């Protein structure tokens, strides 16, 4: 088994800004967490998760990897401390500090200013998206929104994400009536809908004035060899990390 995590490396085209997204591969966890599970709240062996996190940290050219205690909320913090804080988004203007979030179907969203002076990342499940976590992060970063580029990471795709009417209503109430285009009636259950989480996030970011929105084309549910998926596998599954930093 490889000692190096296998990661995606999307390119924002901004000098000095790097993004990495882990896959399932390159860790030590046993099934069903095989193998690079980075979540310490999933039921996996704690020593395995610690080793996986260490492997990720060692593979990055950074001095610190800052995690959050994610709660599906809207709190945004500036990543100035090494301690674990309860929030779902963070930002920094420091170099050498990697900002990390964990997902397994929720949408990871990475932000960077056009000049590479500031970066941020958010955990956007449907609750956080409806409550405004992306707008909160945009507002917290010390720059105009028109000078920010966003990248949408792997998340459950529109063809796999069935939601009930209460979820659709909450998302539409927050995103506007025209967001109905991000929902299609489910073929499996009457009164349920297939939701385009990435499409909703794209609309919210564009409405907030973001210059460009990239990504949003990888589905965690439909790529089992690459990604963990809570919807596909149930609670006994791992978590991927999305990290962004300034060199």
Q: What is the DSSP letter of 55?
A: H
**Terminal alpha carbon distance of the chain:** 29
59 within 8 A of 73, measured Cβ to Cβ: no
pLDDT tens across 215-240, in order? 999 999 999 999 999 999 999 999 99
185 CB neighbour count, 10 Å cutoff:
11
Q: What are phi and psi of 158, to 5 degrees?
A: -60, -30
pLDDT tens across 158-193, in order? 999 999 999 999 999 999 999 999 999 999 999 999
pTM of the model: 0.96
Which residues sit opposite 245 in a β-bridge? 18
Kindly indicate the confidence band of residue 81, based on its pLDDT and cuts at 50, 70 and 90.
Answer: confident
Q: Which two tokens stand for residue 26?
A: 């390159």
4 CB neighbour count, 10 Å cutoff:
11
Kindly indicate the confidence band of residue 22, based on its pLDDT and cuts at 50, 70 and 90.
Answer: very high
pLDDT attached to residue 94: 97
pLDDT attached to residue 159: 97
Among 99, 112, 97, 108, residue whose Cα is nearest residue 145: 112
pLDDT attached to residue 211: 87
Q: Which residue has the tokens 């995690």?
A: 67
Q: What is the fold of 7-246?
A: 3.60.140
């Amino acid at each position: 088994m490889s000692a190096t995590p296998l990661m995606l490396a999307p390119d924002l085209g901004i000098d000095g800004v790097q993004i990495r997204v882990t896959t399932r591969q390159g860790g030590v966890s046993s099934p069903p967490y095989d193998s690079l599970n980075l979540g310490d709240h999933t039921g996996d062996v704690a020593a395995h998760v610690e080793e996986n996190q260490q492997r990720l940290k060692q593979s990055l050219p950074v001095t610190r990897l800052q995690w959050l205690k994610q709660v599906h909320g809207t709190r945004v913090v500036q990543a100035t401390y090494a301690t674990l804080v309860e929030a779902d988004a963070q930002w920094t203007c420091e170099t050498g500090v990697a900002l990390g979030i964990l997902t397994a179907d929720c949408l990871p969203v990475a932000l960077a200013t056009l000049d590479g002076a500031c970066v941020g990342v958010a955990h956007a499940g449907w609750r956080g998206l409806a409550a405004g976590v992306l707008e909160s992060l945009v507002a917290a970063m010390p720059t105009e929104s028109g000078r920010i580029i966003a990248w949408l990471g792997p998340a459950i795709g529109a063809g796999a994400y069935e939601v009930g009417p209460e979820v659709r209503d909450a998302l539409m109430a927050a995103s506007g009536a025209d967001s109905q285009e991000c929902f299609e009636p489910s073929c499996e259950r009457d009164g349920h809908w297939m939701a385009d989480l990435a499409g909703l996030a794209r609309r919210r970011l564009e409405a907030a004035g973001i210059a460009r929105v990239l990504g949003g084309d990888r589905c965690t549910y439909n790529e089992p060899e690459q990604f963990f998926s809570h919807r596909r596998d149930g609670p006994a599954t791992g978590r991927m990390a999305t990290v962004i930093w300034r060199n």
